[in-house]
Amino acid sequence: MKERQNRKNTGMWICVGILFLLTLFMVKAEMRKGDEILLYSDFATHSTWAVGELPDPEYDKFYAYPLWHLAVRAVNASLPIGREWSAALVTALCLGLTAAVLYRYLSAQLEQKLSYGRICGLGCGLMVLTAVYVPWLNPQVYLGQSSPTIWHNPTNMAVKPLALLGFLLFLDLYRKREKPDVREMAGLSAVLLLSCFVKPSFVQGFLPAVVLFLFMELIRTRGRSFLFSLKMAAVFVPSGCYFLYQYLSVFGGGSERSIGIEPFAVMELDTAHPLCSMVQAVAFPLFVVCVLGIKRVWKDRELLFTVLFYLTALLEFILLIELNEPASGNFEWGLQLAMFALFVQTAVRFYQTEWNRRWIRTAGNLLLLCHIISGIYYYLGLIFWLPGQC
C-alpha cells in the first residue's frame, strides 16, 4: 500500500515538475525576445503593469482582475530575480498547480485502468495538447482553431488551476446533490470568486452552462432538483456580483468598448474554414462523444454538463465581438478553459470504458496522440521557428 502511494506521489511530482519547467522556459523565452509583438505575447504588457511601470490608462482594466499582477509584484519585490523571472515563476507555479489537480483527478478516476506512469503521461499530454495541426487548411497552429493550451496570456494561464478545480467541485457537488456538503459549496463559491480576481473568463463561460444544465435538470426531474438549483444559485452570488462589476467597469456607461453580435466574424479573421477548425480543435472529444452515443452521453450527466460547458463557451466565441477591437478575441479565453475541461472529461470516459471493438481504442489513442504531437510542435515552434504566431 505504501509503495503504491509512493508511485502515485512520484507520478504527480513528475507531472508537476514537467509543466513547471515547460512554463518557466516558455515564458522566459517570450520575455527574452524583448518585443511582445514577436510572439503576440501579453507577458510584457501584463508584467510591466504589475511592477508599476506602465501608466497608460488603457490598461486600467487590469485593476478589475489584479491577482496575477499582485503576485508578480510581490515576487519581484521579495526576490532579486527581476520582472521577467518573477512573471515566469508565478505563471509556472500556476501551471504546476494545474498539473497537480489534474493528476489527482485522473488517478482517482483511472487508477484501476491505467498504471501511474501512463496516468502521468496522460496528464502531461492533456496539459500540452492543442488542435490537430492541418497546415493545408490553416497555416496557423493556434489562431483560427483556438486551443485548450495557450502560452501567451498570463492571466488565462494563471486562472487554469482554479477553473479546473471549480469544474471538478461542481461535478462532485452534483454527485452529492441529494445532500451536498456545505463546506464544499463554500469552497466552490470561494474558488469561483477567486477566479474572477485572476481573470473573469472562467465564470463567463461556466455560469451560463451551469444555469442551462440546472434548468434541464429541473425539467428532467420534474422540479425535484429545485432545492439543489437554489443552493447552486447561492454559491454563484459572490462571483456573479463581482463578474457583473467587472463587466460594467469595462463595457459600462462612458466606456469606448462595446459588444456586438456578428456570427463567426472573429474566427474568420484567422481561418477560411471555421467549421473545419472547430473539428480540428476537438477531434478527440468529438470522437469519444460519437462512439459513446447520444443516449449514453445523455445519461452520463457529468459528461453532458461538460459538453454543455464547451458548447456555451463556443457559442459565445462564435457570436460575440468587441466592436472597437475585433481582433482581440477576448471571448475566446472562456472557450479555451471549456475545451480543457472537455478534453479531461472525455479522456477519463474513454479510458474508463471497456471497448468491445479494438479499432475504437486504436483510433481514439491515435487522435489523442495527434493532439499531443501538435501541442509539442506548437510549443517548440513558438520558441524556435514560429515567432510570428501566438
Count of the separate structural domains present in the chain: 1
Residue 45 CA: distances (Å) to CA of 30, 65, 309: 12, 14, 30
Residue with cell 478545480: 165
pLDDT tens-digit map of 125-137: 999 999 999 999 8
pLDDT of residue 326: 73
Mean pLDDT, rounded, for 94-119: 96
DSSP of 80-93, one letter per residue? TTHHHHHHHHHHHH
What cell numbers appear for 77 in the block? Answer: 519585490
> Residue 190: inside a domain, yes or no?
yes
> Residue 84: inside a domain, yes or no?
yes
Please check whether residue 277 is in contact with residue 131, taking contact to mean a CB–CB distance below 8 angstroms.
yes
> Residue 390: inside a domain, yes or no?
no
- Report d(CA 20, CA 106) in Å as an integer: 19
Q: What predicted TM-score, i.e. pTM, was given to this entire model? A: 0.95
Mean pLDDT, rounded, for 83-101: 96
> Residue 315: inside a domain, yes or no?
yes
Domain membership of residue 278 as a residue range: 2-384
The secondary structure element, H or E, covering residue 173 is helix 160-175
- Within 160-297, strands assigned E span 259-261
User: Residue 77: pLDDT above 50?
Assistant: yes
Please check whether residue 389 is in contact with residue 382, taking contact to mean a CB–CB distance below 8 angstroms.
yes
| Residue from 136, 137, 106 nearest 120 by CA | 106
> Residue 292: inside a domain, yes or no?
yes
pLDDT of residue 33: 60
> Residue 389: inside a domain, yes or no?
no
> Residue 337: inside a domain, yes or no?
yes
pLDDT of residue 57: 60
> Residue 217: inside a domain, yes or no?
yes
pLDDT of residue 87: 94
